């Protein structure tokens, strides 16, 4: 689809047709479509949520909304009957779950409901998905074949890549994902920044980098949710999101397998970069499910500039 599609077709093309035209292999496009449809079920669950805590904590010691568990179960059940997925693991689980017969092609990772603590404030939240071949305990660049995230906000949108560019779809009133923007490309340099962690906990090198952004006139945009913040950078065509290494948490907060790998794959396909400050996110090997690392992700200029500041430490 290097030449794009006409303005007329752009208004009517749906997800399945787009993937077919893009040459995505049959089983992979069926899997992506099924996950996108599952997003509709998760959205419905969000709308009927009573916003009450489930009354226990997840394996990482965080308050777990009943909504997180519901989203995880919806994904797991839908993928179990897809016929394409051998194993599934999510941020809500402490293990890899075998859901296929053993000869299926794909391994799926998920953050079923990123930003669920924002539900009661009515801010956007999302689902992050990584699709791998072979083992997930490897460098993402060697195993990832597709990644996607769904944003539940004023509109339900889905962004995906299968290694042939990054594309956004919006869920219309008829319940179809319709192409909104094709071949999204980040500018070399943006104008917004999104920062995680408390300022008092930042390292001196990271603080100097943020002061550079502030002095240069970047505008702060931060919601507290990874999906809405990275989506804003992608749709606005530039900028940077960072959740850095902190003085007492040198590995940062976000998880490599469930959050960073998929979004890094999307960012690189859009012409951007994603790094832990030294190495590309997709070059890091996954050693354990709850592995965390710092993240600088977005336009090439801002990410390279972050590397410069961090190297001075």
In a domain, 186, yes or no: no
- Asked whether residue 123 falls in the same domain as residue 21, the answer is yes
- CB-hemisphere CA count at 13 Å for 138? 12
* Higher pLDDT, residue 253 or 47: 253
Range of lowest pLDDT (47-56, 112-121, 208-217): 47-56
* Higher pLDDT, residue 264 or 56: 264
- Asked whether residue 196 falls in the same domain as residue 252, the answer is yes
- Asked whether residue 64 falls in the same domain as residue 99, the answer is yes
In a domain, 256, yes or no: yes
Q: 157 and 150 in contact (C-beta within 8 Å)? A: yes
Which of 39-44's residues contact partners 24+ apart within 8 Å by CB, and which partners? 39/127, 39/150, 39/152, 39/156, 39/158, 39/171, 40/156, 40/171, 40/175, 41/74, 41/78, 42/70, 42/71, 42/74, 42/75, 42/112, 42/113, 42/127, 42/150, 42/152, 43/152, 43/156, 43/171
Residues 6 or more apart from 177 whose CB is under 8 A from it? 14, 15, 36, 158, 169, 170, 171
- Asked whether residue 153 falls in the same domain as residue 233, the answer is no
Q: Is the pTM of this model over 0.85?
A: yes
- Asked whether residue 103 falls in the same domain as residue 242, the answer is no
- Asked whether residue 83 falls in the same domain as residue 232, the answer is no
Q: 171 and 158 in contact (C-beta within 8 Å)? A: yes
Q: What is the CATH number of the domain that holds 48?
A: 3.30.540.10
Domain limits at 276?
Answer: 192-310
Out of 157, 181, 205, a domain closes at: 181
In a domain, 2, yes or no: no
Q: Is the pLDDT assigned to residue 156 strictly greater than 70?
A: yes
- Asked whether residue 175 falls in the same domain as residue 197, the answer is no
**What pLDDT, on a 0 to 100 scale, did the predictor assign at position 49?**
67
- Asked whether residue 17 falls in the same domain as residue 110, the answer is yes
- Asked whether residue 67 falls in the same domain as residue 151, the answer is yes
DSSP state of 163: S
In a domain, 89, yes or no: yes
- Asked whether residue 96 falls in the same domain as residue 197, the answer is no
In a domain, 1, yes or no: no
In a domain, 187, yes or no: no
Q: Say how many C-beta atoms besides its own lie within 10 A of residue 60's C-beta.
A: 12
Number of domains in the chain: 2
């Amino acid at each position: 689809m290097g030449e794009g599609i006409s303005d007329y077709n752009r208004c009517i093309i749906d997800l399945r047709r787009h993937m077919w035209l893009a040459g995505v292999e049959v089983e992979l496009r069926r899997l992506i479509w099924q996950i996108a449809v599952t997003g509709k079920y998760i959205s419905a669950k969000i709308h009927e949520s009573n916003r009450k805590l489930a009354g226990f904590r997840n394996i990482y010691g965080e308050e777990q909304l009943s909504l997180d568990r519901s989203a995880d179960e919806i994904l797991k059940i839908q993928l179990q009957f897809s016929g394409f997925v051998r194993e599934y693991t999510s941020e809500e689980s402490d293990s890899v779950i075998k859901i296929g017969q053993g000869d299926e092609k794909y391994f799926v990772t998920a953050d079923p409901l990123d930003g669920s603590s924002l539900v009661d404030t009515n801010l956007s939240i999302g689902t992050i998905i990584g699709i791998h071949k072979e083992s997930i305990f490897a460098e993402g660049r060697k195993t990832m074949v597709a990644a996607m995230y769904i944003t539940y906000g004023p509109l339900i949108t889905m962004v995906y890549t299968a290694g042939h560019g990054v594309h956004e779809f919006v869920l219309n009133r008829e319940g179809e994902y319709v192409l909104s923007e094709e071949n999204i490309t980040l500018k070399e340099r943006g104008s917004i920044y999104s920062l995680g962690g408390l300022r008092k906990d930042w390292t001196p090198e990271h603080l100097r980098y943020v002061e550079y952004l502030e002095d240069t006139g970047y505008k702060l945009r931060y919601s507290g949710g990874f999906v809405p913040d990275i989506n804003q950078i992608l749709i606005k065509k530039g900028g940077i999101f960072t959740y850095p290494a902190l003085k007492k948490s040198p590995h940062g907060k976000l998880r490599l397998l469930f959050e960073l790998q998929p979004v890094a794959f999307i960012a690189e396909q859009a012409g951007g970069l994603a790094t832990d400050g030294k190495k590309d996110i997709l070059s890091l090997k996954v050693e354990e499910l709850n592995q965390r690392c710092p993240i600088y992700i977005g336009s090439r200029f801002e990410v390279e500039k972050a590397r410069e500041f961090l190297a001075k430490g």
